[in-house]
Amino acid sequence: MKVLIVGGGGREHALAWKCAASPRVRHVFVAPGNAGTALEAKTSNVDIASDDIDALLAFAAREDIALTIVGPEGPLVAGIVDRFSAARRACFGPTRAAARLEGSKAFAKDFLRRHRIPTASYATFTPANFDPGFIRAQRLPLVVKADGLAAGKGVVICETHDSAIAAAKGMFAGSFGAAGNNIVVEEFLQGEEVSFIVIASDHQVVPLATSQDHKRRDDGDRGPNTGGMGAYSPAPIVTPEAHARIMREVVEPTVRGLRLDGTPYTGFLYAGLMIAADGTPNVLEFNCRFGDPETQPILMRLKSDLVALCESALDGSLGRIEPEWDSRAALGVVMAAGGYPENYRRGDLIEGLDTAARLPGKIFHAGTRASGSQIFTAGGRVLCAVGMGSTVGAAQREAYALVHAVHWNGVQYRRDIGYLAIERE
């Protein structure tokens, strides 16, 4: 069979690599892919943007693609699954209606409240009904969020009422484009952040191996928020008790609620959680797709066939599947371009990839571009170096050996990915 992966980041490189490893898969296409996916066995890139649904569908029909897996949220929120389904093409991901869980934070908050799933208290505003008096009456800090997709940037944590009002007005004025036409103002939650990712198929759910990412750019979880600077699996903070609570109080009521609302969910479902001191798993956000960079370490640990997992979710037999995991830990370090997450450098020559390829572990590409036999930076997050080991500490050593083999002008990465887990070991 032929598989199509939609997207071109590190997550999509990992998805493509894992699908290509399936004995049933003859070829994997990645649209648009990156310099790393172009080098994988049985894999090639297709020059179609991830949001060009017409062209993706035409390509899938022409190549008779048996399974399409969508990496990023954009095409999912835009309805790629509905379009493929209408053309009777298997496409793994939620429908447009179910993807609103990520596409609209106001929708997600109303959904959480309606189904009594723990989350921060909140109010939503449009420019027409915005009430600065509401903000002045709240306890600080306050969190102001743009309603729509803002590439992970539409969240402002405000220490004063004035800055919260300014953030709200900035969003209405277009600081996050159309994403800020509506806003959510919510209570600031204390606790420890955890990501929890499952494969859902209507009422059936298979939790993936636990993971945790590092969102801040600098060591010690300081500096600006990013798309993610590294991740590891398993996450020791998700104890068996926490796991059971998250399934019972968040995941199960979420898929049940989506079904009750007439929008059953199939696909990867990612809950960003803040675990309170009393163990309550409060939902910070939902993502309607796999996490990046969580995908890279999680798929390094997955021993089962990913294609079979996605197919069983699509045909309703997911409940019979128990994925098999490598008992070792996996840890990925993101190597980013100079300046990321603000204006970053592009076009720097990446050196040392050949040396790294001879070391244990694996480097997944994200923002890379090939020119002849050379590979250049072409995005903010450039590579994710994943190591494995009997402990998170051992996986970290393997990952950093890869990192140290690779270099380009302005490269930046954190030196402490996994430190919280390693402290617990």
Question: What residues make contact with ligand AMP under the rule CB under 6 A?
Answer: 120, 143, 145, 152, 155, 186-189, 193, 215, 272, 284-285
Task: Output 65 or 235, the one with its CB closest to ligand AMP.
Answer: 235
135 token code pair? 């903000």
Report the SS3 class of residue 144. Answer: strand
Which run of H or E residues covers position 156?
strand 155-158
Least distance CB 158 / ligand AMP (angstroms): 11
Task: Output 52 or 416, the one with its CB closest to ligand AMP.
Answer: 416
| Cβ neighbours for 195, distance < 8 A, ≥ 6 positions apart | 211, 212, 213, 270, 271, 272, 273, 291, 294
Tokens 């190597």 correspond to 335
φ, ψ for residue 174 (rounded to 5)? 110, 20
Least distance CB 256 / ligand AMP (angstroms): 22
Least distance CB 26 / ligand AMP (angstroms): 38
* d(C-alpha 193, C-alpha 421), whole Å: 13
Least distance CB 286 / ligand AMP (angstroms): 9
Query: With contact defined as beta carbons under 8 Å apart, do 154 and 179 qualify?
Result: yes
Task: Output 201 or 226, the one with its CB closest to ligand AMP.
Answer: 226
From residue 87, alpha-carbon distances to 70, 96, 336 in Å are: 16, 15, 39
Least distance CB 288 / ligand AMP (angstroms): 13
Task: Output 60 or 229, the one with its CB closest to ligand AMP.
Answer: 229
- Using Cβ positions, the residue closest to ligand AMP within the complex turns out to be 285
Cα–Cα nearest to 397, from 329, 351, 299, 335: 329
Task: Output 351 or 416, the one with its CB closest to ligand AMP.
Answer: 416
Task: Output 7 or 154, the one with its CB closest to ligand AMP.
Answer: 154
Least distance CB 379 / ligand AMP (angstroms): 20
| Cβ neighbours for 110, distance < 8 A, ≥ 6 positions apart | 124
